[in-house]
Structure 1
């Protein structure tokens, strides 16, 4: 998948997430049920986690496909990507 396609995919995901957040704000203003609001917040969290995963995975693939001549720098980038995945 190309970098531009990945960027479009992430931007589209973030736009959907933005819409979900606006919907949650409206739900709160309309005094909707707590469980419904929490369900939507969980969906937003999942969407953001997925966007983060895509970004980290693409970064890691880039490191592997186009390794740095400096192996210490390469290993540092790979370890950073792994830590981002673990923190998730």
Structure 2
């Protein structure tokens, strides 16, 4: 995985870990179920986005740029951006 992507992924994982620790505290403090569910949904969304980033980077590593024309590279990047955005 590209170093910058690896760093970004680590940062996202740390953020998710912090969110989960916050949710644990919310549970311990007896916070409202709706508040806890809202935070859980945020963590889930972040994890799904990380999954999209990992998949996109894996695809990029499997296909070298010299295998694709500029137009194909642009289409591939658009598709990968969509994967990241929707996950």
Normalised TM-score (structure 1): 0.71
Residue 51, structure 1, aligned to residue 24, structure 2:
no
Match of 1:15 in 2: 14
Match of 2:41 in 1: 42
TM-superposed deviation, 1:62: 1.2
Counterpart-to-counterpart distance in 1, 2:62 and 2:54: 12
- Structure 1: any 5+ residue segments left out of the alignment? 68-84
Normalised TM-score (structure 2): 0.72
TM-superposed deviation, 1:61: 1.1
RMSD of the TM alignment (CA)?
1.9
- Structure 2: any 5+ residue segments left out of the alignment? 67-82
- SS of 2:30's equivalent in the other structure is coil
TM-superposed deviation, 1:40: 0.3
TM-superposed deviation, 1:45: 0.4
